[in-house]
Amino acid sequence: MKISGMIAMALALSGASAALGANAPGLMETDKAFSDRAQTAGLAAAFEEYAAPDAEILRESLWEPITGPEAIGESFAGAGEGVSLVWEPARAEVSESGDLGFTWGRWTLSMPQADEEPRIVRGKYISVWRRQPDGAWKYVLDGGHTTTASPPE
pLDDT digits (tens, 9 = 90+) for 110-138: 999 888 889 999 999 999 999 999 999 99
What's the number of domains the chain is made of? Answer: 1
Q: What is the pLDDT of residue 18?
A: 42
Residue 2 pLDDT level (bands cut at 50, 70, 90): low
CATH code of the domain in which 18 resides: 3.10.450.50
Q: What string of DSSP letters covers 10-50?
A: HHHHHTS-GGGGGGHHHHHHHHHHHHHHHHHH-HHHHHHHT
The answer to whether residue 153 sits within a structural domain is no
Residue 16 pLDDT level (bands cut at 50, 70, 90): very low
- Asked whether residue 12 carries a pLDDT value surpassing 90, the answer given is no
Give the mean pLDDT of 51-55. Answer: 98
The answer to whether residue 152 sits within a structural domain is no
Q: How far is CA 139 from CA 19, 28, 40, 41, in A?
A: 22, 12, 19, 18
Prediction pTM value = 0.83
The answer to whether residue 150 sits within a structural domain is no
Q: What is the pLDDT of residue 22?
A: 63
Range of the domain at 79: 3-145
The answer to whether residue 151 sits within a structural domain is no
Q: What is the tens place of the pLDDT at every residue in 56-107? A: 999 988 899 999 999 999 999 887 788 999 999 999 999 999 999 999 999 9
Q: What is the pLDDT of residue 142?
A: 98
